[in-house]
Amino acid sequence: MQSLDTYRDEARVRAVCDEIARVATREWTLMEVCGGQTHSIMRYGIDQLLPKQIELVHGPGCPVCVTPLEVIDRALAIAARPDVIFTSFGDMLRVPGSTTDLFQIKAKGGDVRIVYSPLDALQVARANPGKQVVFFAVGFETTAPANGMAVFQARREGLKNFSILVSHALVPPAIIALLSDPENRVKGFLAAGHVCAVMGYREYEPLAEKYRVPIVVTGFEPLDIANGILACVRQLEECRAQVENAYPRAVLREGNVAAQKLIAEVYQVCDRKWRGIGEIPASGWRLRDNLREFDAELRFDVGDLRVNESPLCISGLVLQGRKKPNECVAFGKQCTPAKPLGATMVSTEGACAAYYRYARHTFALVG
């Protein structure tokens, strides 16, 4: 933990922020892609230390937030079944579906369990051969290898009572979608360090070149984020548009090759709906055809569920960096973490929840 203290040290972070102020000669809008980075920025108040000319907008990289409502409803339908033990990471439990959430399913007798790894879910399946055990496999490229490993092992062991409900999203197609939008005002990206730790950053190089936009691989501690911003601003000021690694202690250009190999064996690319944004082509993973017996959506026949979102919620615009959470009329009024209208208010990594939890003292509510 000694090293973490270093990355949270006021003097070091201030020194980098001072350098950003010195380098930036005009206004720049940057997007941190990942919800974990948004959380860090608000949790530590990094935005308060930045010069006025740097604006951070918050990207679509919160796995809880971009999971479509119908996928949540599918999870709820499966979890309510008496023959099912439904396992999930903790922060999916409070995400509201159209009528209920996993906490309430649990309160009404559903067997819903928080696990810390999909391999724990596999252990639950081994220990309960008379039950169907389902793991809610939500996440970006980061969580895909472990989720894939669980399926891989289940097949090897011939486990018939294990399946996963897959909702994997991919970062590069989302960045392309944002950059292709005529209203885009993002001039540089902080790419998610943990996604790049798995996938490397070669796939971002054609994007930087085609769209003339700097993409800086960035970590999650305050000093990491400040360094990522500095590298991005330097590129913009020097009219460069490159992929740069500001998180070398965790990320290699090639990424984790063994994990990528496993991913290729388990998943194939598919079109995918992003909550609040809509369908993005080739932006998700589903299980390969030869592994679809482990796909909970097919096993429990819940693929046809379709639902509508709250008309007040602007989480789609927030996820695209076009609105700030506090620009929403419902923010802090009809919509709070206790009673969220959209997923960005639920997850601790959601931009709306981060604004509400950490920073509502710094601005006035609108409307």
Q: What are the residues binding another protein (CB under 8 A)?
A: 1, 4, 8-10, 13-14, 36, 42-49, 63-64, 89-94, 103-104, 106-108, 113-116, 120, 123-124, 138-140, 142-143, 194, 222, 337-339, 347-349, 356-362
Q: Which is nearer to another protein, 103 or 211 (CB)?
A: 103
User: Which residue do the tokens 């790419």 mark?
Assistant: 191
Q: Which is nearer to another protein, 292 or 339 (CB)?
A: 339
Q: Are 262 and 51 in contact (CB under 8 A)?
A: no
Is the Cβ of residue 167 or residue 235 nearer to another protein in the bound state? Answer: 167
Provide the minimum distance between the beta carbon of 116 and another protein in the complex, in angstroms, as a whole number: 6
Phi, psi for residue 344 in degrees, rounded to 5: -65, -15
Q: Which of 59, 37, 20 is nearest to 227 (CA)?
A: 20
Residue with Cβ nearer another protein (142 or 344): 142
State the nearest-atom distance from the C-beta of 293 to another protein, in Å.
Answer: 25
Q: What are the angstrom distances between the C-alpha of 173 and each of 170, 191, 210?
A: 6, 13, 14
Alpha helices in the chain (DSSP H): 2-7, 10-23, 35-44, 46-49, 63-66, 69-79, 102-107, 118-127, 144-157, 171-180, 193-199, 205-211, 222-237, 257-266, 296-299, 315-319, 351-359
Min CB(339)–another protein separation in Å: 7
Pick the closer one to another protein by CB: 36 or 214: 36
Q: CB-wise, 127 or 298, nearer to another protein?
A: 127
Nearest residue to 87 (alpha-carbon basis) of 168, 167, 165: 165
147 or 320: whose CB is closer to another protein?
Answer: 147
Q: In the complex with another protein, which residue's Cβ is closer, 5 or 304?
A: 5
Q: How far is the CB of 115 from another protein (least distance, A)?
A: 6
- Minimum Å gap between C-beta 92 and another protein is 7
Start-to-end CA distance of the chain, whole Å, equals 44
Of the candidates 232, 250, 253, the residue with the CA atom closest to the CA atom of residue 241: 232
Handedness of CA 162, 92, 306, 66 (dihedral sign): negative
Min dist CB 138 to another protein, Å, is 6
How far is Cα 56 from Cα 28, in angstroms, rounded to an integer? 9
Nearer to another protein, 145 or 214 (CB): 145
Please provide residue 155's backbone torsions phi and psi, each rounded to the nearest 5 degrees: -65, -40
Rounded least distance, CB 182 to another protein, Å: 32
**Structure-token pair, residue 102:** 């996993």
Rounded CA gap, 330 and 365, in Å? Answer: 9
Query: Measured between alpha carbons, how far is 285 from 275 in angstroms, rounded to an integer?
Result: 16
Cα–Cα distance list, 333 to 66, 281, 327 (Å): 22, 35, 12
- Closest contact distance (angstroms) between CB of 107 and another protein is 4
**How many distinct helices (H) and strands (E) make up the chain?**
17, 11
Q: Which is nearer to another protein, 113 or 322 (CB)?
A: 113
Instruction: State the nearest-atom distance from the C-beta of 113 to another protein, in Å.
Output: 8
Minimum distance, C-beta of residue 352 to another protein, in the bound complex (Å): 13
